[in-house]
Structure 1
């Protein structure tokens, strides 16, 4: 795992993301087997990139008062924000992700800061299934290294890391598990209240004058 990245753990009974998405959004028994239900529903064996996008939109279009967002904002307030002085600015609508088993790449390799222009944000990778091997995001082991490793997590874990300047993306999902996850960026509103190791997630960056956006 990345040297400055931090893994948060939480109680999935208190914050039942998987149960909410399985029941209210996808209506499946097992979220990591979403590809099986989707194949059956569409009466075809081969799935494609667009299938991922179609299922992702079901999540992205959830209303603000949906069960998912109630759990999401409660999780932010009780699990993440206390690590950063109790107050953070964060994405009210995270980027939803679906990567069905047997489908190709769903994200080219990139650095978020090249898109956002922001160097002050920390990334949070919050999976709703176990994520591993090619059923997860792969990230540079070090800045500019072009050596990649999988961000392996269990459901009930979230990763805080520097997606702004570490290149990351996906490979074709060659596992028999579907990844369902979200990711978002945040920053502390009172950084002087943040203690180590939470304040150190971005600490291995090069001096600002060497950063190229």
Structure 2
């Protein structure tokens, strides 16, 4: 979980932990904040959590694209990276092959210097506002830890599968992470992400979602993957992991807030 400290600090867990409280935590309240979190965590009972229940289950919910125009910002970002890309997003596979290849490469090798781009900052700012105004009430939390830099993914039309079947636990992610997967184009079938509905269920299915819908799922223990995109539509989406405030103390985030 790659994070950044925004409005409160939690030194015992990570100096770079991202926080999204409903109301900002003032500097005066920082002292002793860790102790309060530990107390909350210890009151949750045994380490085992009901991972078959919400939010550790699959659900799709809607949000307002006028308030959160992710597709517009992603298109601006892509155009900033590769000006000759063909838009709309679902048609960028029709761009010159070198342009599509360059976009792929730039998304893979994004570095800190890219964060100076206004388009990257605008997307990051909107994502944080989305966490505050949409994800917090969706989870019923006062604050959460979340990935500050969502992964933007592109699966071009007629492209082979880009993600092998896996669970996030294979890569040592915390079992308290909840995945949020947000397409910025309409998706279904081969042009989507596939997953099982619960750990070990084996009922693999594509997420069917329109722009303006987000999918919550438990990627830590549910296998998920992509298949060959045999459609004529390019899929563009972004995803990030979130940990509820009540779970942070027992999530065992490593120093630096990064799980690999």
Question: Contact 2:58–2:197 (CA<8 Å) still a contact in 1?
Answer: no
TM-score (norm 2): 0.63
Q: Where does structure 1 lack aligned partners over 5 or more consecutive residues?
A: 192-213
- Indicate which of 132, 146, 151 corresponds to 2:202: 146
**Equivalent of 1:54, from 69, 86, 105?**
105
* Cα distance in 2, alignment partners of residues 52 and 131 from structure 1: 20
> 1:157 aligned to 192, 213, 216, which one?
213
CA contact under 8 A between 1:52 and 1:100: conserved in structure 2? no
Match of 1:6 among 59, 66, 80: 59
Paired residues for 1:56-71 under 5 Å = 56-57=107-108, 62-63=114-115, 66-71=121-126
Quote the residue 2:246 is aligned against: 190
Match of 2:230 in 1: 174
Distance 1:73 1:18, change over 3 A: same
| Number of aligned residue pairs | 183
**Per-residue CA shift, 1:189-212, capped at 9, x if unaligned?**
136xxxxxxxxxxxxxxxxxxxxx
Q: 1:127 to 1:38 in 2, by over 3 A?
A: farther
* C-alpha distance in structure 1 between counterparts of 2:115 and 2:96, whole Å: 23
In 2, distance between residues paired with 1:82 and 1:173? 34
2-structure distance, mates of 1:87, 1:186:
10
In the alignment, structure 1 residue 30 sits paired with structure 2 residue 85: no
Residue 167 to residue 157, structure 1, CA distance change in 2 (3 Å):
same
> Residues of 2 paired with 1:147 and 1:88: CA distance?
30
Please identify the structure whose Cα radius of gyration is greater: 2
Moved segments of 4+, more than 6 Å: 58-61
TM-score by length of 1: 0.76
SS at match of 2:189: coil
1:93 is matched with: 149
Q: Is residue 193–residue 225 contact of structure 2 (8 Å, CA) maintained in 1?
A: yes
Unmatched tracts of structure 2, length 5 or more = 1-51, 248-260
- Cα deviation for residue 57 of structure 1 reads 3.3
Query: 2:40: which partner in 1?
Result: none
Residue range with higher mean Cα deviation, 6-15 or 21-30: 21-30
